[in-house]
């Protein structure tokens, strides 16, 4: 693990979140949903890289949370709440849905995902 790799992951993750916010305002909901997923995925990989020196080459946010929760039991709570799991599954599905499927995301849906990431996900992950 290099310091540069760690910083690139964190910086990219934050850029994806800022881009998601901008895309929502511009009405590009599909791309905003994808950017939200990328933010979550890279933040989890960033934390895993810091804590373990590596991370799995996987895209599943839920799998990455499970990996990270082995190190920090506080993160397990996000997986134990049914409402959180709905958000996590929706965000994880955006990786494929926003890129390859003929699925359109609604503005209210994406704003809700963004709110979850900023108010729940981010605090839990940063606390690891």
Nearest Cα to Cα of residue 38 among 111, 99, 105: 99
Sorted by where each starts, the structural domains of the chain and their CATH numbers stand as 3-126 (1.20.120.330)
* pLDDT beyond 90 at 122: yes
User: Which pLDDT does position 77 carry in this prediction?
Assistant: 87
pTM: 0.93
Give pLDDT, residue 13.
Answer: 97
Of 45, 48, 112, 108, whose CA–CA distance to 83 is shortest? 112
* pLDDT per residue as tens digits for the range 14-43: 999 999 999 999 999 999 999 999 999 999
The 10 Å Cβ neighbour count of residue 48 is: 20
List alpha helices for the chain, DSSP H.
Answer: 3-26, 29-52, 61-69, 76-80, 82-100, 107-116, 122-126
| Mean pLDDT, the chain, whole residue set | 92
- pLDDT at residue 117 greater than cutoff 70: yes
């Amino acid at each position: 693990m290099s310091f540069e790799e760690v910083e690139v992951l964190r910086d990219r993750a934050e850029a994806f979140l800022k881009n998601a916010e901008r895309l929502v305002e511009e009405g590009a909901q599909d791309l905003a949903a994808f950017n939200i997923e990328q933010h979550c995925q890279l933040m989890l990989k960033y934390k895993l890289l810091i804590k373990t020196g590596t991370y799995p080459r996987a895209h599943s946010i839920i799998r990455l949370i499970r990996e990270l929760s082995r190190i920090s039991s506080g993160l397990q709570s996000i997986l134990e709440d049914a409402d959180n799991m709905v958000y996590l599954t929706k965000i994880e599905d955006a990786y494929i849905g926003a890129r390859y499927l003929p699925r359109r995301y609604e503005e209210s849906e994406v704003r809700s995902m963004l709110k979850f990431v900023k108010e729940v996900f981010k605090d839990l992950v940063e606390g690891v």
